[in-house]
Amino acid sequence: MDSTTALTILFQNIRDIRELMNNDNKWIMHSLYVGQAASTIAKRLNLNADYAETIGYMHDIGRLISHSNHVIEGYKYLDNLGYPDIARYCITHSFVDNIIPNTAGGGPNKDSYDFINNYLNNITLNIYDNIVQLCDLFCLETGYTTFEKRILDITKRKGVYPNSLEHFKSIMELKNRLENMMGITIYELFPQIKDEDLASQNSDYEELMKLFKNDQKQSRKTWKLFSFFTFKKRCKKVWKNIKKSLHLVGEYVRIINVCFVHRCVRLLIHQVKLSG
Ligand SMILES: [Fe+2]
């Protein structure tokens, strides 16, 4: 598949500009920017720019079928069309360095997990995986932005999860790695990024860290509460076992008593018989 075919597939349901502006189709413009950005980065790295552009256009194609399960649906869609090589990026784009916890929104649900885990374990990470992963994280449907703004936007929409901070760190590490390879920063390579986005980089970062921290605090509170209930539950269980043990001891004593009385009665009868 080349970038022209990819564009035809991407725009197959769009008949006019109003449809493109529709909220449900925001991902199409986002994909357009991801394709353009991937091509720019690939050129800089002396890689196949048209291939990078193609996979950028196709990475979110699963959204034609389902938004929540677009990763697997996109893979199946392109695989069925006869493009298993391009289908790969429908899965890998969501996981930085092809590592499952390095993703937004907490990770795949248990129905998708095995499929994705199995797929990622059977492929080797390549540079195009990394390029699309990075481009996905600074491309909005309106153009390029800072990673801080994009992650802040995703975090506000999808919420904070135990892996959110690690995901953010993995993105920044990937950004540094590719920038070192290119010998230029992403923000220098894409001067289209708005000055106001660049200016709010620090405040966006602080807001993001605050969200992560607050959530950790919340998690700790929840854990304390959970621990309290677990402790109470354990105490109840221990008390139940003690009661059970006391009951058994009581029973045992009762049996001994009965045996003792029984023996005494037998001895008494024996004595009576002897004396008679
Ligand atoms: Fe995307």
* DSSP per residue, 41-83: HHHHTTS-HHHHHHHHHHTTGGGGT-STTHHHHHHHHHHHTT-
Cα(120) to centroid(ligand 1), Å: 18
Q: Give the 3-state secondary structure of residue 102.
A: coil
**Quick check: 148 pLDDT over 90?**
yes
Interval 12-40: pLDDT, tens = 988 888 888 888 888 999 999 999 999 99
Structural domain includes residue 157: yes
Q: Is the dihedral angle over the CA atoms 204, 43, 167, 28 positive or is it negative?
A: positive
More confident residue, 129 or 154: 129
Instruction: List the beta bridge partners of residue 144.
Output: 139
pLDDT at residue number 28: 94
pLDDT at residue number 271: 80
pLDDT at residue number 229: 47
- Among the listed ranges 121-125, 148-152, 219-223, 241-245, which one has the minimum average pLDDT value? 219-223
Cα(75) to centroid(ligand 1), Å: 14
Cα(71) to centroid(ligand 1), Å: 10
Cα(139) to centroid(ligand 1), Å: 8
Cα(59) to centroid(ligand 1), Å: 6
**Quick check: 213 pLDDT over 90?**
no
Cα(60) to centroid(ligand 1), Å: 5
Structural domain includes residue 231: no
Structural domain includes residue 215: no
**Quick check: 125 pLDDT over 70?**
yes
pLDDT at residue number 276: 65
Cα(273) to centroid(ligand 1), Å: 101
Cα(191) to centroid(ligand 1), Å: 21
Cα(196) to centroid(ligand 1), Å: 23
Interval 153-204: pLDDT, tens = 888 888 898 888 999 999 999 999 999 999 999 999 999 999 999 999 999 9
**Quick check: 251 pLDDT over 80?**
no
Structural domain includes residue 86: yes
Cα(58) to centroid(ligand 1), Å: 9
pLDDT at residue number 235: 66
Reported as a pLDDT band with limits 50, 70 and 90, residue 104 is confident
Cα(219) to centroid(ligand 1), Å: 29
**Quick check: 112 pLDDT over 70?**
yes
Q: What residues have their beta carbon closer than 5 A to ion ligand 1?
A: 60, 136
Structural domain includes residue 176: yes
CATH of the domain at 119: 1.10.3210
Domain residue limits at 52: 3-199
With pLDDT > 90 as the criterion, what percentage of the chain qualifies?
Answer: 59
**Quick check: 120 pLDDT over 70?**
yes
Instruction: List the beta bridge partners of residue 139.
Output: 144
Structural domain includes residue 239: no
More confident residue, 235 or 148: 148
Cα(104) to centroid(ligand 1), Å: 11
Structural domain includes residue 234: no
With pLDDT > 70 as the criterion, what percentage of the chain qualifies?
Answer: 91
Cα(231) to centroid(ligand 1), Å: 44
Q: Is the separation of the CB atoms in 147 and 201 below 8 Å?
A: no
Distance, CA of 159 to CA of 148 (rounded, Å): 15
- Among the listed ranges 6-10, 212-216, 219-223, 252-256, which one has the minimum average pLDDT value? 219-223
Count structural domains, the chain: 1
Structural domain includes residue 255: no
Cα(184) to centroid(ligand 1), Å: 23
